Amino acid sequence: MATPAASLVAEDRPFTRLPPGPREPRLLQTLRFAIAPYAVQDRARRQFGDCYTVRAFGPPMVVFADPEAAKEIFSDDAAVLQAGEANADVLAPILGRRSILVLDGERHLRERRLMGPPLHGERMHVYGRLMQEIAGRVIAAWPVGRPFPIHREMQTITLDVILRAVFGLDEASTFARVRAPIVRFLKMADSAAAPFLAIRQLQFELGGLAPWGRFVRDRAEVRRLLLAEIARRRAEGTEGRADILSLLVAARDEHGEPMGDDELLDELFTLLMAGHETTATSLAWVFWHLLNHPDVVQRLRAERDAVGGGGPLAPEHVARLEYLDAVTKESARLTPVATNVMRRLQQPARIGGRDLPAGINVSVSIYGTHHRADLWPDPERFDPDRFVGVRPAPHTFFPFGGGVRRCLGAALATYEMKVVLAEVLSRVDLRLAPGYRMRPVLRTITIAPSRGMPAVVERRLG
Ligand code: HEM
């Protein structure tokens, strides 16, 4: 059904008085973003300041790199600024129409109430041993003296964490059968087929031969397997199980209603897609910074030894690794994997001192705000000490977005990253692959270091 906002989009009339912004043809702007995603934002800010309009595909998008505007957008009435509608074009065909990422209003809040508790920060230590075990097995297979793409290895770890900690797939056969189609899809999303998955006009099936057709087939297979798993949990009961799927099966809304099967399946797919690539890419960035800053690695190892008393590190020690926490934050400040969050404006509103019409997209630039010299002195320098014992000023640091849409997996991702980094630092000495020249590149929806961030194991430790 066409909303008033949608009809405004079709008319495109009130959009002439938006803040100025890049004027290149839409296709060129899209290509520029794909090729040099950070540089495009630097250039726009140099040229137009901390508020500008991007006219690529879809409605115009007014971008703010401004804590005041971020505060207004993150705290605004969710009925005025809707993220679900802004996300739906790209994400609904992939994740499903019941995914939390494409819902707005009361339906979105219901999903948050159901999904929030299982993903709550205090529960994360439950998964510590499992994460350590998964990371340990992957690291043990790394070759010594030969370059390998560390990003791909991080994807293996984060995918297995989702399948085992989130889905609780502990039976080897189910695990392998669910994993195979997912890996096929992720490979396609990393290849030249990616536009055929992300752009609606290119999503044709061709009897299962086109990339979209293969995805639809694989997704149906994953859904079938997960449905059988859900039925098993419903039948056997979930008592004593700590995985997030079991907690979601057991969850009840305020009317005492459980989640339906289709709802559960869409949310599981969402957790898989939203949770695995983002965390793997964030880890790849931390390695890029660490391998360029041996002094930081030394400090991390000293902290690890001090906290662990020289012995193996227990998962409960992770909370005490303050410098490691600062390192992951500084990496997320300098090289955020999500550069922007977006909302669709449902009615005219004044944001960041600008009067804006209904129907446009409004975006907070995570990257732009994290790079402002007035908020972050010498912003291009990697300096974890910015975060040691310091709380960033409000609305200046938000790698996980904000307000009622803030990332539900932030605690899981943050904890997992620290467990994995601590394992790697304890087990191997790494260096960058010789001759590697890093470029930030767009991979489906995240910004990553190019070529999978090739690294070399110099020696094994211990
Ligand atoms: C370092 C890793 C991650 C980063 C950088 C990240 C970043 C983000 C961002 C920027 C948003 C949008 C927030 C907004 O619109 O204001 C988001 C939403 C979301 N993320 Fe994450 N994420 C990460 C990991 C995860 C993980 C591990 C999961 C779950 C397993 C997850 C689940 C979600 C969900 C469900 C939403 C939608 C929330 C809503 O619409 O209410 N994310 N994430």
Ligand 1 center from residue 409 Cα (angstroms): 6
pLDDT at residue 49 in the model? 97
Instruction: Round to whole Å and give the CA distance between 362 and 82.
Output: 10
Q: Which of the listed residues 329, 400, 420, 445 should we mutate to test ligand 1's pocket, taking the one with most ligand atoms within 8 A of CB?
A: 400
Is pLDDT at 47 greater than 90 in this prediction? yes
- In which band, very low, low, confident or very high, does the pLDDT at 14 lie, cut at 50, 70 and 90? low
pLDDT digits (tens, 9 = 90+) for 94-105: 889 999 999 999
Q: Is the CB of 278 under 6 A from ligand 1?
A: yes
The residue ranking higher by pLDDT, 291 or 179, is 291
pLDDT at residue 54 in the model? 94
Q: Which of the listed residues 264, 407, 420, 445 should we mutate to test ligand 1's pocket, taking the one with most ligand atoms within 8 A of CB?
A: 407
Mean pLDDT, rounded, of the chain: 90
Ligand 1 center from residue 17 Cα (angstroms): 33
Q: Is the CB of 406 under 6 A from ligand 1?
A: yes
pLDDT at residue 37 in the model? 93
Among the atoms of ligand 1, which is closest to the Cα of residue 403? 16
DSSP string, 387-409: GTT-PPPTTS--TT--GGGS-TT
The residue ranking higher by pLDDT, 31 or 362, is 362
Is pLDDT at 460 greater than 70 in this prediction? yes
Instruction: Round to whole Å and give the CA distance between 322 and 326.
Output: 6
Q: Is the CB of 112 under 6 A from ligand 1?
A: yes
Is pLDDT at 15 greater than 70 in this prediction? no
- In which band, very low, low, confident or very high, does the pLDDT at 409 lie, cut at 50, 70 and 90? very high
Tokens 């974890």, located at residue: 384
Rounded average pLDDT over 349-370: 96
- In which band, very low, low, confident or very high, does the pLDDT at 11 lie, cut at 50, 70 and 90? very low
Q: Is the CB of 245 under 6 A from ligand 1?
A: no
Q: Is the CB of 271 under 6 A from ligand 1?
A: yes
Q: Is the CB of 345 under 6 A from ligand 1?
A: no
pTM: 0.94
- How many percent of the chain have pLDDT more than 90? 69
- In which band, very low, low, confident or very high, does the pLDDT at 289 lie, cut at 50, 70 and 90? very high
Rounded average pLDDT over 346-354: 94
Among the atoms of ligand 1, which is closest to the Cα of residue 342? 15
Pairing of strands 349-351, 428-432: unpaired
Neighbour count for residue 366 (Cβ, 10 Å): 25
Q: Is the CB of 400 under 6 A from ligand 1?
A: yes
Query: H or E stretch including 113?
Result: helix 105-115
pLDDT at residue 454 in the model? 98
DSSP string, 261-308: HHHHHHHHHHHHHHHHHHHHHHHHHHHHHHHT-HHHHHHHHHHHHHHH
**Which has the minimum average pLDDT: 21-35, 198-212, 328-342?**
198-212
